[in-house]
Structure 1
Amino acid sequence: MSTEQDIDFSSLPQVDQTARPPHQRRPRFDGDVSELPDRACWALQQLLTRRYISAESDRDLYTWVLEYRAQLSVRLSELDLLLRIVETAYAGEGVAFVEQARYESARGVKLLRREPLGTYDSILALHLAQMMRASGDQTVLISRDEVHALFSGVLNDTDRDTVTFTARIDAAIARLTGLEILRKSRDDDDSYTVSPVITAIMTASVINELQQQFELLLGGGSPSLPDDEDVTADA
């Protein structure tokens, strides 16, 4: 019989206390042959159908994206898509989104087709991004009247009619509210806070290009805005 002194404990295999117990994945539907866990599948679906996933408003989804980042990147690469994850300067404001890979291909098909931002949507996003970058870590609050004032110098021929012009700006506010870039204030329906996510999805190059287009709009010209996927490139 061996005594305690005869046993070399240093030679015993180490047990990984952090390892997860093996889990038998059940198919979610008839014909489901995915090798990814359910949470990774759900995160992938959201990445393909939404402009971005925010750590603040979608904590679970964002956590799953981080957890399965490597596997998701592989799946997206097979579709000529890139996974972008940007941590902002604001606590809890990380952002994950997908953009189209750019390379020359005779057979590749563009899969990322989102409804493009309109002229006024993009110009409003430009101003909000500039305001957020200038604010540091401070919350940016803007009223509906202040948004309209941002367009006060526009002289383009298309929207000289006051009613049409006002409606276009209101539509831009509604669009960016729907994208959760603008958030209605609880105390005032006509006041909004600007989400820091705007600094993550607007690159410096996109801001510069939009600024040039806005200056063209101020001069009465017709701007040619960048492609939608450029607006959601990583910061």
Structure 2
Amino acid sequence: MTTPDSDIDFTSLPDVDRTGSGGGHSTRPRRPRFDGDVSAMPDRACWALQHLLTRRYISSESDRDVYSWIIEYRSDLSVRLSELDLQLRIAEGVDIAYVEQARYESAKGIKLLRREPLGTYDSILALHLAQMMRAGGDVGFLITRDEIHGLFSGVLNDTDRDTVTFTARIDAAIARLAGLDILRKTRDDEDSYTVSPVITAIMTASVITELQQQFEQLLKGSSE
């Protein structure tokens, strides 16, 4: 027997969990994670925010759960980050999420993203790999250690005229990008690397322009 809508007590029905933390309907309030936790966001959104603030990027390939939380709570996370002058960026083509500092002039604002910066050679290597990736249609590709060293041919940096020092700097840049999972060693040859498409997400147009200027200075013989 069907009950007419006029006979239903809507106030007695369970509330819909609109935070997404319960995956459906729930009447239970969110439990604080610790004493003093007053967050209005569900736990997964809070954890996703923590990852975004402490890591250069989140990849669906290596962190599927965290990436899925970012997508699920994208709107809430964008608001929280915006309050800190930060912007959430999601490169859906390669399933990468990361945070950028908003660019605007403010006498009172302060930069919060103070992650360990890439060195000159790290940045220049990233520049070359990003350009190669985009030229190839944003598809991952293989590159050898010798080919990477070849990218720096013609550099006349006054401080690196010593061949041993120059070679060591390039090898250090390779290790740095491997540590960021941008370069991944192949199983068959430890001197060959797969370049991850993530590099096209974190190397924005403005960053590429700035790094291109740095590289041109190295080609002219400027010191680091």
Query: Given the two structures, how large is their TM-score scaled by the length of structure 2?
Result: 0.86
Q: Residue type matched to 2:86 in 1?
A: L
Q: Which residue of 2 aligns with 1:33?
A: 38
Select which of 66, 74, 91 maps to 1:69: 74
Tell me which residue corresponds to 1:226.
none
Aligned residues: CA RMSD = 2.4
- What 5-or-longer segments of structure 1 have no aligned partner? 224-235
Residue 209 of structure 2 aligns with an amino acid whose one-letter code is N
How does 1:1-235 map onto structure 2 within 5 Å?
20-22=24-26, 23-88=28-93, 93-136=94-137, 138-222=139-223
Cα 1:115–1:85, aligned 2, differ >3 Å: closer, same or farther?
Answer: same
> Secondary structure of the equivalent of 1:98?
strand
**Inter-partner Cα distance in structure 2 for 1:131 and 1:60:** 30
1:142–1:122 CA distance, 2 compared to 1 (3 A): same
Relative contact order higher in (CA < 8 Å, ≥ 6 apart): 1
2:67 maps to amino acid: Y
Q: Return the offset for 1:138.
A: 4.2
Cα deviation 1:16-68 (Å, max 9, x = unaligned): 9x971124322111221111111001000000000111121111111100111
Residue identity (%): 76
Q: Is the 8 A contact 2:67 2:97 kept in 1?
A: yes
Would the aligned equivalents of 1:85 and 1:97 in 2 still touch at CA under 8 Å? Answer: yes
* In 2: Cα distance, 1:102 partner to 1:155 partner: 33
TM-score w.r.t. the length of structure 1 is 0.82
Residue 145 of structure 1 and its aligned partner are, at CA, apart by 1.2
Secondary structure of the residue aligned to 2:106 is coil
Contiguous gaps of at least 5 residues in structure 2: 11-15
Distance 1:126 1:169, change over 3 A: same
